Each structure stands twice: as C-alpha cells, then as structure tokens.
Chain A
Amino acid sequence: MLRRAPRRTHRIGRGRQTAVAYALLAPSLVGVLGFLLAPVAIVLVLSLFDWKLLSTPEFVGLANYQKLFTDSDVWHSLLVTVYYVVICVPGTTILSLLLALLVDRKLRGMKYFRALLVIPWMATPVALGLVWSWIFDPGRGALNQFLGVFGIDGPAWLSSPVLAMPSVAAVHIWQFAGYNMLFFLAGLQNIPRSLREASSLDGASPVAHFFTITLPLLRPTMLFVLITNVIGSFQAFDTIFVMTEGGPGDSTEVATYLIYDEAFRKFDFGYASTISVLLFAVVLIATISQFVYFERRTTYEVSG
C-alpha cells in the first residue's frame, strides 16, 4: 500500500503531504499519546511509589508488589473477577450463538425480532443495575413474586453470598446476548451458500452439520466475540456498583471495584496503581492467549 501512494501524489511534494497528514492526526495523537499511552506509563511508575492522600509520593521500589502478592483481598478480588468472567463469557457466547441460529432464517417479521433482542445492549448499565435490583428484591420484586405464584419461596438473591455473583452475572448475559448475536448472525450469513446446503444433500443431521461445518467456519467471529467479552467483563463495575457494592461481604468485589475503592475512597494512589497493573497484565494474558489458541487451531480460511 505504501508503493501505490506516489502514483497518486506526484503532483504535490512529499513534505507537504506529511505536514497535512500530521495536521489531520494532531487531535487524535494528543488523545492517544496523552490520554491513553501516557497514563499506562504513569500507572507503571505510580505502582513503585507509596502515595496516600496529602502525603508526598515516596519511591519504594517493588514494595507495593510484595504487598500485592501477600494481600488476600487482592487475590480474593481477582478470583471473584475470574468467577464473573467465567460465568459471563460462556453464558453470553453460547446464548448469542443459539439466538443467531434462531434468527438466521427468512421468516416474516424477523428483522423486528432481531431488533428487539438487541435493545438491552444500549441500556445504561447503572439504570439496568437498579432495574434488576428491583426485579431481584426479595420481598416485592418481580422474580420472587412470580415464583410465589407457583408456591416457591424465592431466596434473597443479592444479599446471599452464594447467589449474588450469579445474579449480577445474569444481568451481563441478559444485556449482551442479543448484541453479540448480531456478530454471529453476520458470520453465519458469510458462510457460502454451497456449504450451507451441502449437508441437506448428504443427509447429515443438523447437529452434526453445525459442529463439523458451521462452527469451524465461525471461528473468526468466535474469536472477536470471546475477546471483546473477556476484556469487557474483566472491567465490570457499573452494575456491581449499584447492585451489590461489592457485597455481601466481599463476594462480588471485582478487581475494578477494589481499585476504585483503594484509589478514590482510601486515596491510596500508589497501591491502587499496583492493582491496576496486575489487572492489566491479567487482561493482556487472557487476550493474547486467546489469539494464540485460535491462531494455532485455524487451519484454513474461507474468504467471504
């Protein structure tokens, strides 16, 4: 692509084109370098300092990291986060794939069904968290009232240390299943017609066809859905902030919540930065390992 450029641009000087390019890039360069990359560098530096509210920052080397490795709150919070991710990612992925298979047909009114399923994606997470708190309310909430119709005495969903996390995670799945369905739907519709119809001729069962042909061809979509969901659910904050505030006890205290708490309630910026670095490392490892896994397993490509 670099080679094609001179053909188009021989009329103007190369220097001028560079100047124009950097002028166009200037605002986003400030944004990317100043507000995305510089903060990453700063958080790494901050993690080496002891800096509490009003005190002068003091360089302590790796002391924060030593504290980190023996801090049971941090490890607990990391486990809680992983637990949340482990419910949300497979839940959202499987449900959205099933929905995509369901709506990938030519039926009357299908586009309205698709649209309705996507609606929860746009909902303000904070408002959603409040709405679902009301649904989960043990006394008068819709869920337990509904269970009551069948004579079932529903539990206190959000104040039970066992049920709180699955309940909060269910809201994530509810919100994003329809949205991710769109990606799988696009993936399904990219599969060449000949491959879609082959199975009905050779008499393979629909289930066998799905696992041997459809699913492998959806691999690029699968990678995209998995990666965006893993990154997204590792950062869950808004719904948890309003639904459980990390509780009961610390049973839903995910890493993001712990960082917020350390930095903006306890004003321990140094240590909060150290936890941020840990979370960043975990997200990076999770993302890169998915790339590597899919890279190794993808043996052929179908260009759509």
Chain B
Amino acid sequence: MRLRIFTYAVLVAGCLFAIFPYFLTVLTAFKGPGQLSETMPWEPGLPPSTAAFERLFNSGFGGYLVNTALVTAGITLGQVVFAILAAYAFARLSFPGRDALFWVYLSTLMVPPVVTMIPLYLMMQKLGLVDTWAGLMLPTMLGTPYAIFLLRQFFRGIPADLEDAARIDGAGRVRTLVSIVLPLSKPILVTVTTLAVVANWNSFLWPLIVTSSEDKRLLSVGIALFKGEIGVDYNAVMAGSLIALAPLLVLFIVFQRFIVRSVAVTGLK
C-alpha cells in the first residue's frame, strides 16, 4: 500500500515535469505584454489576450502553418507508399541481389543527415530546385530505410498462404498487397505513419537550408527566424511555439493508445 502511494506520487511529479513546459507555453501565449511582467510565469494572465496570435498571423504565420501541414502530408504520403512497395518486394519476392540490396538499405541508417546536407544542397542547386517545393520534399519523400525495415519485418510475419490463395484466383501482386497484406498490417502502418509525421512536421535543418522565400517557409523555420527578428518578445515567441506544438499534441491525444503501443514495437529486433 505504501509502495503504491509512493509510486503514484513519483508518477504524478514526473508527469507534471513532462508537461509543465506546455502549460507555461499556453499561459505565456495568452498574456498581453503588460501581463507578462506583472504575473509569475505559472500564473494565467487575466483576462486572456490574443494579441500575440494576432501579431503572428499578421506577419504570415497562417501561411507557414498551411505550408507545414501540406509538406508534412506530402512527404509522409510518399514515404509510407514507397516504403510499403519496397518492403513488400524485400519480404515476398525473390530476385537477384535482394539480400545484398537490403543490407545496402540498412547500412544507410548509420548515415547522419547532416553529412548528406551539403551534397544534397549542391544537387538541388544543379537540378534548379533550390527554394522550390520539389527541392524541399524530394530528398526524403521516396521512402526511408527505417520504415522499409520495419514494414518488411512485419510483412514477413504474415502467413504466405493467405496471399497464395488470392493469387491462385488470379490477383496480381499489387492487388494482393492492397487487399490482403495491408489490411493485416494496420499496427505497423500506424507506427510508420506516426514516426513519419513527427519527423516531417518537426524537420528544421533541411527546410532552413533549401528554402529562402517567405511563401515557402515552414513553421519551424518561421519561429526560429522570428526570434531573431523581434528579439525577446516572449508572448509572440510562445504563441508561435504553441502553433507548432499544438497539432502534434492533438494528434497524440486522439491516437494516444495506438501510438504508445506502436512506438514500443520499433525497439524490438
């Protein structure tokens, strides 16, 4: 009994520590400039002020939000679809060079993105894609080795007999994949999609380098540059951070059960 109370006490403290920066962000974002200096950071500003958000949306943040949502959706869609196709080939088809090629894919997991950054930029320059949507999305949207690895492991666990039956009935490879394999793979698809959405929404270094015009700016780049432009205006900076943090937070709350379970899966061999 005492152990249980102790466990709860530590858990509550830990969870408060995990989410208090979010509280501070919300509280600060809804304070007026005067309220910021009159109140403690953990006190709400009364009445709440939306002045910071108005300032942000007047300086183009609405556009950054739309850009980020569209780019995240586009890259994620590409990554998931192309990873499914590749993973299916690795899991189910036999072709010359399969195992060697799979090792090549796996080995690229060890390449830090920062190492490929300069060559990628120069390649985009050669292709005339610097500061374009294509340049922003192309390098990552063709499928990530990690997603391919996770999907391939899962596909291999699905009994091949199920597919054979469909194939005897004359279904092609793609039909079998879509109608038999994918419906059985929902858990891993949730995992792979979640990881992709989080990574793409949060991505910063590549958008910072490859885009420069404001109409292609993403939220992460927007708030980072914003701080430099306006100095220490914490109301606006926190409002901007909240706009970046809130969508994933909402997504997490809605899919919480799925995500916690599915992320843990990726740690297993």
Contacts from A to B (Cβ < 8 Å):
2, 5-6, 8-9, 11, 14, 17-18, 20-22, 24-25, 27-32, 35-40, 42-43, 46, 99, 102-103, 105, 107, 111, 113-128, 130-132, 134-135, 137, 140-142, 145-146, 174, 178-179, 182-183, 185-187, 190, 220-221, 224-225, 231, 234-235, 237-238, 241-242, 256, 259-260, 263-264, 269, 272-273, 276-277, 279-280, 283-284, 287
Contacts and interface: CB of A to CB of B under 8 A. Distances in A.
B33 to A, nearest CB: 12
Interface string B1-31: 0001001101100110111011011001000
A184 B81 CA distance: 30
B89 A25 contact: yes
Interface of B: 4, 7-8, 10-11, 14-15, 17-19, 21-22, 24-25, 28, 36-37, 40-42, 78, 82-83, 85-86, 88-90, 93-96, 98-99, 101, 104-105, 108, 110-123, 138-145, 148, 160, 164, 167, 173, 198, 201-202, 204-205, 209, 219-221, 223-224, 227, 232, 234, 237-238, 240-242, 244-245, 248-249, 251-252, 256-257, 259-260, 263-265, 267-269
A149 to B, nearest CB: 9
Contact of A36 (B108, B224, B260): B108
A107 to B, nearest CB: 7
A123 B110 CA distance: 24
B119 A43 contact: yes
Given A22-B95, A103-B11, A221-B267, A124 B119 contact: no
B115 A127 contact: no
A87 B20 CA distance: 23
Given A28-B142, A116-B18, A134 B110 contact: no
Given A125-B202, A145-B41, 19 more contacts: A9-B94, A18-B95, A21-B93, A28-B148, A31-B139, A32-B105, A35-B123, A36-B145, A40-B115, A107-B4, A113-B15, A130-B238, A131-B21, A183-B267, A260-B209, A279-B115, A280-B112, A283-B110, A283-B112
A29 B90 CA distance: 12
Contacts of B232: 137
Nearest to B101: A25
A21 B95 contact: yes
Contacts of B167: 11
Contacts of A5: 93-94
Given A28-B86, A113-B11, A134-B237, A17 B93 contact: yes
A280 B108 CA distance: 12
B257 A135 contact: no
A130 to B, nearest CB: 5
The interface centre, meaning the residue of A6, A24, A186 with most chain B CB atoms within 10 A of its CB, is A24
B85 A42 contact: no
B116 A269 contact: no
A9 B37 CA distance: 73
A182 B268 CA distance: 11
A6 B160 CA distance: 13
A265 to B, nearest CB: 11
Contacts of A2: 94, 98-99
Contact of A130 (B99, B119, B201, B241): B241
Contact of A238 (B41, B95, B112, B205): B205
B118 A46 contact: yes
A82 to B, nearest CB: 15
Contacts of A242: 223-224, 227
A238 B263 CA distance: 23
Contacts, number: 292
B42 A142 contact: yes
A29 B101 CA distance: 9
Given A130-B237, A137-B234, A238-B205, A280 B115 contact: yes
The interface centre, meaning the residue of B86, B94, B105 with most chain A CB atoms within 10 A of its CB, is B94
A123 to B, nearest CB: 6
A255 to B, nearest CB: 8
Contact of A259 (B41, B93, B114): B114
25 contacts: A18-B93, A20-B93, A28-B83, A29-B86, A31-B142, A43-B116, A43-B119, A46-B118, A111-B260, A114-B260, A115-B260, A116-B19, A117-B15, A120-B21, A121-B198, A125-B202, A140-B36, A145-B41, A145-B42, A182-B260, A220-B269, A259-B114, A264-B121, A276-B117, A284-B110
A273 B42 CA distance: 45
A93 B209 CA distance: 32
B37 A140 contact: yes
Contacts of B113: 235
A121 B101 CA distance: 32
A220 B96 CA distance: 32
Contacts of B21: 120, 128, 131-132, 135, 174
Contacts of B120: 35, 39
B94 A17 contact: yes
B143 A131 contact: no
Contact of B123 (A21, A39, A123, A146): A39
Contact of A124 (B202, B227, B268): B202
A276 B122 contact: no
The interface centre, meaning the residue of A113, A141, A279, A284 with most chain B CB atoms within 10 A of its CB, is A113
